Structure 1
Amino acid sequence: MHFRSSDQGASLVEAALVMPILIMLVFGVVEFGRAYNAQISLTHAAREAIREYAISQNTADAEDVAENSAPTLDSTLMNFNFGPCNPGAPAQVTIGYPFTYEIPLFGNNTVDLTGIGVMRCGG
């Protein structure tokens, strides 16, 4: 019996040492998932924006379409950069977005994400 209680104490110490690492790992996975979701939403918004821009050649309409196609992102933080749209030539839109981690595990908790869309302009 004496050895059994000492084994239980050792298990408790091991759990106390491993638990912070596991908690950091879980939080890291969750935050990476949030950042990946934001990147996918931003890429989708850029694709929708360039589709609208290639047809209408109106940047305001393209920005509205992009903001509506990414409802999980704060549209006031999106930075749009439209290239020229000449008939038959490819046009490009770049959307920048500063993503902020909710749980700052390391120093800087803001990462700049970029979504790029390219499509041939209509005539």
Structure 2
Amino acid sequence: MKSLGSAKPVGDGVVTATSSPAGPRSPLFPRTPFRRMLLRRLRSERGAAAVEFALVVPVLLVLLIGIIEFGRAYNAQIELSGAAREAARVMAVRNDPAAARAAARAAAPSLNPALTDGEIAVGTSSGASCTTAPGAATPVVTVTAAYPLTFLTGMFGATVTITGKSSMQCGG
């Protein structure tokens, strides 16, 4: 059996086998050029940036996609609120539910697919029209537009229903 060198006490009394002042030597893994190269590669930081990039990119992509999806939903909400306001104005002035629905569809041109008549509800506080009996309170028109927004990626669900609502007193 080979000699491991001289035994020297170290710090707290633990005895280690050393063959050189460079440090401990393991009989299982002798210092060979291959081992030195392997240890040099393990200690180097080459590739650390690539690993960090690979860990951060998915988080950044989800954040970016979330911002885009939120922006689309917010734009659709603004569009629906404007369409409902325009429909309520037309209904309050003209007293025509069909014209109010047409005004709502025309006021939301960027929605794709476009608003349909089934997604636009027009009603008044006194029933179906803005006509009032003498001495009665002036009715209020309420228009609600509900739109099923489909997400681009599906990461946050398939669809969400966005609603725009507006009320206006009949007669302008």
Mark the CA change 1:118 to 1:78 in structure 2 (over 3 Å): closer, same or farther: same
Equivalences, count: 120
- Unpaired runs of 5+ residues, structure 1, are none
User: Given the alignment, which residue of 131, 144, 149 partners 1:94?
Assistant: 144
TM-score, normalised relative to structure 2: 0.64
The answer to whether the aligner puts 1:60 opposite 2:98 as a matched pair is yes
Which one has a bigger Cα radius of gyration? 2
Structure scoring higher RCO (CA < 8 A, sep ≥ 6) equals: 1
Tell me the residue number matched to 1:24: 62
TM-aligned CA deviation for residue 23 of structure 1: 0.6
Q: Any residues of structure 2 matched to 1:40-79 within 5 Å, and which?
A: 40-73=78-111, 74-76=114-116, 79=119
C-alpha root-mean-square deviation of aligned residues, in Å? 2.0
Bigger helix share: 1
In structure 1, which of residues 49, 72, 80 is the aligned counterpart of residue 120 of structure 2?
80
Task: Report the Cα offset of residue 115 of structure 1.
Answer: 0.6
Runs (4 or more) in structure 1 with deviation over 3 Å come to: none
- Provide closer, same or farther for how the CA distance between residues 48 and 80 of structure 1 changes in structure 2, counting only shifts above 3 A: same
Normalising by structure 1, what TM-score? 0.88
Partner of 1:9: 47
- 1:75 to partner: Cα distance: 2.2
AA partner of residue 147 (structure 2): Y
How far off is 1:90 after superposition? 1.6
Could you tell me the percent identity over the aligned residues? Answer: 44
